[in-house]
Structure formats: C-alpha cells, structure tokens
Structure 1
Amino acid sequence: MSTLSQSKPMKKLLIIGTMPMILDMNVDPSSDSEGEEIGDTKEIAQSLACLTFQNAHHVAPQLLYELQVEIFARVPCCEYWKLQFLNHQFSQLLKSSEIFRTRRELGLVKPYVFMLSSGDRRWTMFDEDFKVSQRLPKLSSDINFFSGDKEITCVGTQLIVIGKDVEGITVWRYELAMHTWVKGPAMITPRIMFGSASHGTNAFFAGGFKISKSGAEVVSIVEKYNAETKAWASIHAMHRRRKSCSACFLHGKFHVLGGQNENDENLTCGESYDEETDSWELIPNMLANVSLSLFQAPPRIAVVNDNLYLLETSSNDLLVYNVNTNTWKKLGTVPVRADLTKGWGVAFKSVKDNLMVIGASSTRPHSQKMAIYKCCPSPDMEDIHWEELCCRGVHLNHFVLNCCVMLA
C-alpha cells in the first residue's frame, strides 16, 4: 500500500452526504503525545462509516481505503478495538493489521508495557511514561493457570502468555486490535520455563521444560511463532538443553543465556542463532563472572542500542556486555532490591533508548507499592542517573510476576 507523501501540503475534500469534510493529512506523525494525535475515535469512525462509495462521488475506492487507514493510524492504539462495533468493514480493517503496518511505515510506533503483579489476575497496559494505563479483559482460565509459572512475550500486536492449566501447557494470546483474549494455537512441543524474544512479527522460544505422560524433560528445542500467520515452526535445536534461561536479539541474532541443564547445573555458556544460515554458535563462559545460584530467577537482561545489559541479582549491580572480549563491566547499581528475592519479582526491560527496572524500591524498603525507574545507559558511562516514574491512577504490588514491552 502506498502512503501519502509527507513532503507536500495535502488536504482531501470528501463529500459525506451533502456536507463537505476536509481531512488534513499534514498532521505531524512523529508527535510525542498520543493525545495530540487525531482526536476522538468515535467521532472520526462515525464520519467515515457514513462515507460510502455511493455518496463519496469524488473519491476512488482505493484512495478512500488508504485515507481511512492513514487516519486511524494516528489514533491511539487503545482505541482501535472500538471500531469492530461500528460495522463489518471496520472490523475487517482491524483484523487485516493494515493499520499497524501503516503505523510502522509512518514512524508512529510506540512502546507499551504489559504487566501482571502479585495478587492480580488482570494484566495492565501502560504507555512508556506510565501516565496512561488500561486494564486488559479477564483471561478465562482456571486457578491452576494463574497460580503457576507463566511466560510472556510480546510479538507484533499480540501478548503471548504460556502456562499450565488442568489440560496441560496452554497458550493464550491477547490481541491489541480486538482487545480480547484468544486461546491457541498450541506450540509444536508445549513447554514452560523457556527463553523467548521477539523481532518484528516473529518470536523465538528456546529450551524449557517439557511435560509428558512419560515424565518431565529439559529440552534444547527451539520454535518460531509468526504473529501474522499465527503459526509455529520448528528450527534447529540449540547445542545445550536448558531451562529457566533468558533470550534477546543482539546484533541481529537471537541469543540465549544461562539457565540450568538436565542435571540442574547452572550454565555459564550462551548461544546465538543466525537465521540466515539457520545455525547456532556456542558462546563459552558468557556468564562465567556472573554470580549464579540454583534457585535464582533467569538472567535479567535487556538490549538498548544494540548493547546488552544485565542486572546482577545477587548485588543489584548493572553490568554491560563486551561482545568482543566476552566480558562484563560494572556500571553501577540499580535502585531496586533484586537481591532480596534472587531476582524474582523484578522486571528489567528496554523501552526505546532507556533501561527500565521495576520492583521494590531500595529507598523505601517497607513499601509494598511498585517502584519504576529508568535511565539512558551507555557502555562508557561513569555515573548512572535513574529517574523515578510516577504510575498514575494504578496501584500495583511491587512483586512483578510478568512484564514485557510491545511496539505497536
């Protein structure tokens, strides 16, 4: 689909019934605030819904479709799901993902943080500054699913949640466009305690714990999920079996770090997968100088500007990885107490050019309220400045069960 040029002033005169309507296509698509994007969704949608091919005499069908997509691409993502209730045309537009593809083309993509904290059964979606939030619908699963371990990944405009219920290991996905939960599709080899990371509309899931009638098994299996086709595909297995590992994309390759093998031994090696050659490279001693213990959380890692950072959960230190020397450098400490829980309950994520850490504040040790900090890191920085963000209107427990970031 061709997009409208941003270099020349452009306005289109549409005829809605007998009333002319001027749509200004010169709105700055790089606006920092979604509140400054084209305003009330319902009003825009109702106007467009009245615009049929019969009474829009001066607009070609293809141009009309492109105008609709370009307009809605500037509407806040949290409003999209309302379009499905207007008519079949807008419902199909949402399902096509065309709006989100246009957002990417126009540079309108923004990060959204999805979080589930202790004592809660509904995920909350935040904007990058935690000034705006939205509660997700209830997920219709049993108590076993919520009381057990769950792994989550954001890919495309979907939040993938994988856990164990009475029927076994189950996949749920939240679709941002439709604001709803859908069950499946199931993994080719269902498992939990894997490492996962996404890149565009693809997500990779490596290793984990497979449960079958013959028993439980730590695996080296890797699968790729495509958010557009909603299909799973197997790729070459890793060199090592591993569970409770972490994963990321670094220098264009899928990396898997740490975890434990089939003998519950901590792994200090990492592995990188090159999709072009469909091959894995073992990285010995990648975590050799990082403190490891049996019952600690998977490595807390995040990538900012193609640099890999790690939260050392035994000391609350922030480390940065040197890919050339295969070593880690200490940059300072983080303002949360990851050491109290061996890294469990702490979120450590990248949000655009920032690192974000969420958990129990080190300055307010007795508070049960979630604390959120961010910094703009650099491998050469000597002094880290952490900025605390205020979470408006939502009060969540400081123990974070799940957290991931979606770009939509």
Structure 2
Amino acid sequence: MAAGSNIADEEEEEGFDEQRATRAFQHHQFDLNISYSDWITFDISARKRINSMSKNDDGSNQSGSNPSGCGGGADGFSIEEPQDADYPRISSLSYDLENRIFARFPISEFWKLCFVNKRCWALLKSGELFNIRREIGFKEPSIFMSATGQSTWWAFDREFKSRRKLPVLPSDVCFINGDKESLSAGTHLLVSGKELDGLVVWRYELVKNRWYKGPSMITPRCLFASATCGSYAYAAGGMAVELNGEVLYDTAEKYNPESRSWEELPSMRRRRKLCAGCYMDGKFYVIGGRDEAGGLTCGEFFDETENRWQLIPDMLKDDPVQSSHSPPLVAVVNNELYSLEASSNQLKVYLKKSNTWKQLGPVPVRADCNKGWGVAFKSLGNELLVIGASSVSSTNEMAIYTCCPDSDDSSELQWRSIDTARNRFRDFILTCCVMVA
C-alpha cells in the first residue's frame, strides 16, 4: 500500500502551511476583492490624519528633550508613535467582529488571509472560521470532482470561476485507477474505493488540505447509496465482492466528522446494490437498485426519530435499474426530489402525495451516452447541477449547466450554461460531490 510517509490516522496541526501559502501567493494576484454575492460591503472614506507626536492644548510638543523618541518612558522606551509615519484615526474592529467578517469570505479566497497577519493565519489554520460559519448560518457550496484524464481531484466554487487542485491522494494504483464513490460530511470529503488489500475509505479534510486514510465503514461496500444532511453522511446497501461471488447488503451507517467515526444504523427492508440516496424531509432515502432477483422499483427511507426504515412500493415503477445502467440519478432542491432519466435525458420531479413522477423537460447533457455513467447530477443550493457530455456540442469536453426548477411551473426549463474555458476536462465524470460548509 502506497500510503506515503506524510499520512497518519492521527491528525497533525498542518493545513495551510507557509510554503503552500507562499506558492499560492506566487500564482495569484494578491487582492482582497470579495466577489461572493452575499458579502457585506462597507466604506471607510474619511480618514483623519494626526501627527505622530502628541501635543498639548497650546500646540507645544510633549516629547520633551528627546526628539528621537528613545528612552522617553519610565522603562527607558518611548510609548509614543514613530515620528516618521501618519496614522489614520480609525476605530479598530473587535476580534469577534473581524472573525465574523472573515468567515463570510468565499472559501476560494481563504488563502489570502495567510498574508494579513499572524492572527489571521492562526484563525485560518485552526478551522475556527468554519465553526463561525455554522454559528451564523452562512453556507457555501463547493464542488469536488474527479474526471477522466485527471490524476488528481479538483475543487471548484459555485460558479466554476475559481478552481484548486487538491493534494495527490496517496493510495495504490488499484484505488487510483478503479471505480470510486464520494460523499461529504461537514468539511470532510470521503472517497470509497478498492485497494489491493480490499475496500477502503480515504478522507480529505478541507481545513487541513490533506488526505487521511480511514475510517473504513463498519461494513466495507461498493455500489451503495449515500447522502448528506450537511453535518453527517449516510451510506446504505451496496455489495462486497467475495471469492465465491457477490454479497448484497441491507446494512446502513452514518458518518460523524466530529468523531471521525461510523455509527451503525438499523438494517433496511431490502438488500440492494446500484441504488441511489438522498436526504429529504429530514429523512435518508434509498431508491431503486438491484437485488438477486433483478431491478427494484421500491424505495425506502430511514426516520431517525423512530429509528426505523419504511418501505415505499413502486417508487420507480416506470424506470427500474437495468443491469448495466448506473444507479438512479437523483438530487433534492428545496426539499423536492428530481431525477434525470438516463434513457431519455428527461428531468422529472417526484410527486410525494401520489407517489408518481412528473416530466419537466429535456436536460442539455447526454446521460444516455453511457447509460447514466459519467454524468454528475447534483443539488447546488437552490439549483440543479448537471455535468457531462453536451447535447448541443460534439466536443468531448465536459459541459456544465444549472437550473432553478419549479415543480409547479409548467413553463420550459431555463438551463444556464457555465463557461468551461478554464476547465477543459473530459466529459466523463468519474465521481463528483458537493460540500456545503
């Protein structure tokens, strides 16, 4: 296993180290221009300048016979300001208010705080900014992606205007080149895959900008359903490949980023693989998939208050998962469940009361090219995000579109194309995850 000498299960106080910050500074224009739409701006225009030396009411100099300012104080040192500088009379902000302002910086701009002062450096390194963001209810989505032809993971801001290459994931060749699944919890990105020794989970910690191995799931699995509610991540179903064949699971578990551990949940009502997961109405949903007999049309959800699963018959009765197809492509926006039907490239919304689906219109990405594989279909705040091969272009570069859906509006969907000139990746997305922090 190529775990690398810099990886340990016990975290160290690293993260935004000085060399990394210096390299970032050399490759970025250093300015503190805040572009995020929710940023609060203020103007301090009237700067009153004062002399560096204090004066009496009559205008006489108070420094006595020591014009150099040396030795003027009782301890031999001057308590006066230097004479060769003017100082603006501006009331300083409290540290608490400063922290709350810094917490509203876009995550893509956090690195600039390294060059403000030592206090900002320590604030960034500690991860306290993310705690403050949670306290004030300030959230920002970041997209983490691994695409064909890319040896490393990339992180993007919401508009894909800023991108950052993550450190190389120090696993073995089997994991790097094999199928992987990703999910997020808090500021942790979890990537599950198979190494030479078996199924493992690697986690990337945003605060420390570093990969760590583990913790593995209680029941290691692949082709499972997953979802996040922000603070926690859920995984259920899936399979393990044994020497005597496949083993399907009905087990489920929850990841806690604070304790960096998995907690076992009650088992589902059905064993299933190739299933999809989402978090809606405060519940973890697992939809579709396949069992030993074939495609499943039922779904089920876990109610944490009752600590049990409830079955939803015929939730996918018109679109069961075929053996060679991807898991259902689903996303939740404004507590409504949407599905991208891979066979027809149609967007549908789930009508909870009638347990049926309503067709909303076509999606400008070719999900049918590879039977749903290679397409990212995610929720991005109040928008749907879809990434893959464009239906209006013949290039093999990825296309990115967003849309604000309205389940009650019968008008045509308005998909917004995001410029990918700076992000010329191949159109087959290996795995993609949205982190809200």
Would you call these one fold, judging by a TM-score over 0.5? Answer: yes
Aligned residue in 1 for 2:251:
221
The answer to whether 1:198 aligns with 2:228 is: yes
Q: CA deviation at 1:86?
A: 11
Aligned residue in 2 for 1:180:
210
Q: 1:324 aligns with which of 353, 371, 378?
A: 353
Task: State TM-score, norm by structure 2.
Answer: 0.75
Given the superposition, is the C-alpha separation of residues 372 and 276 from structure 1 closer, same or farther in structure 2, using an over 3 Å criterion?
Answer: same
Given the superposition, is the C-alpha separation of residues 163 and 31 from structure 1 closer, same or farther in structure 2, using an over 3 Å criterion?
Answer: closer
Q: Does the 8 Å contact 2:342/2:368 carry over to 1?
A: yes
Given the superposition, is the C-alpha separation of residues 219 and 94 from structure 1 closer, same or farther in structure 2, using an over 3 Å criterion?
Answer: farther
Q: CA deviation at 1:349?
A: 0.8
Q: Does the 8 Å contact 1:130/1:392 carry over to 2?
A: no
2:364 and 2:206 mapped to 1: Cα distance?
A: 32
Which one is further off, 377-386 or 80-89? 80-89
What do residues 301-342 of structure 1 show as CA deviations (whole Å, max 9, x unaligned)? Answer: 000111100000000011110111100011111011111210
Given the superposition, is the C-alpha separation of residues 394 and 86 from structure 1 closer, same or farther in structure 2, using an over 3 Å criterion?
Answer: same
Aligned residue in 2 for 1:131:
161
Q: 2:285 aligns with which of 232, 255, 259?
A: 255
The letter for the 1-side match of 2:100 is E
Q: Does the 8 Å contact 1:195/1:246 carry over to 2?
A: yes
The answer to whether 1:397 aligns with 2:397 is: no
Aligned residue in 2 for 1:371:
399
The letter for the 2-side match of 1:292 is V
Q: CA deviation at 1:190?
A: 1.0
The answer to whether 1:246 aligns with 2:276 is: yes
Matches within 5 A, 1:338-357: 338-357=367-386
SS of the counterpart of 2:368? helix
Given the superposition, is the C-alpha separation of residues 256 and 355 from structure 1 closer, same or farther in structure 2, using an over 3 Å criterion?
Answer: same
SS of the counterpart of 1:348? strand
2:343 and 2:369 mapped to 1: Cα distance?
A: 8
Q: Does the 8 Å contact 1:210/1:216 carry over to 2?
A: yes
Q: CA deviation at 1:228?
A: 1.3
Aligned residue in 2 for 1:315:
344
Matches within 5 A, 1:30-179: 32=37, 66-67=96-97, 69-80=99-110, 97-179=127-209
The letter for the 2-side match of 1:350 is S
Q: Which runs of 5+ in 2 are unaligned?
A: 1-33, 44-78, 80-92
Given the superposition, is the C-alpha separation of residues 341 and 252 from structure 1 closer, same or farther in structure 2, using an over 3 Å criterion?
Answer: same
What do residues 38-86 of structure 1 show as CA deviations (whole Å, max 9, x unaligned)? Answer: 9xxxxxxxxxxxxxxxx9xxxxxxx976456434313332454687999
Aligned residue in 2 for 1:360:
389
Which one is further off, 177-186 or 300-309? 177-186
Q: Does the 8 Å contact 1:264/1:294 carry over to 2?
A: no
SS of the counterpart of 2:273? coil
SS of the counterpart of 2:360? strand
Aligned residue in 2 for 1:303:
332
Given the superposition, is the C-alpha separation of residues 30 and 325 from structure 1 closer, same or farther in structure 2, using an over 3 Å criterion?
Answer: farther
The letter for the 1-side match of 2:367 is A
What do residues 66-121 of structure 1 show as CA deviations (whole Å, max 9, x unaligned)? Answer: 45643431333245468799999878755764321211333431111111111212
Given the superposition, is the C-alpha separation of residues 37 and 228 from structure 1 closer, same or farther in structure 2, using an over 3 Å criterion?
Answer: farther
2:207 and 2:281 mapped to 1: Cα distance?
A: 30
Q: CA deviation at 1:36?
A: 7.2
Q: Does the 8 Å contact 1:163/1:171 carry over to 2?
A: yes
Q: Does the 8 Å contact 1:197/1:204 carry over to 2?
A: yes
SS of the counterpart of 2:164? strand
2:152 and 2:123 mapped to 1: Cα distance?
A: 27
What do residues 151-173 of structure 1 show as CA deviations (whole Å, max 9, x unaligned)? Answer: 10011111100100112111111
Q: CA deviation at 1:215?
A: 5.4
Q: CA deviation at 1:211?
A: 4.0
Q: Which runs of 5+ in 1 are unaligned?
A: 1-28, 39-54, 56-62
SS of the counterpart of 1:146? helix
| Identity between Structure 1 and Structure 2 (%) | 47
The letter for the 2-side match of 1:140 is P
Task: State TM-score, norm by structure 1.
Answer: 0.80
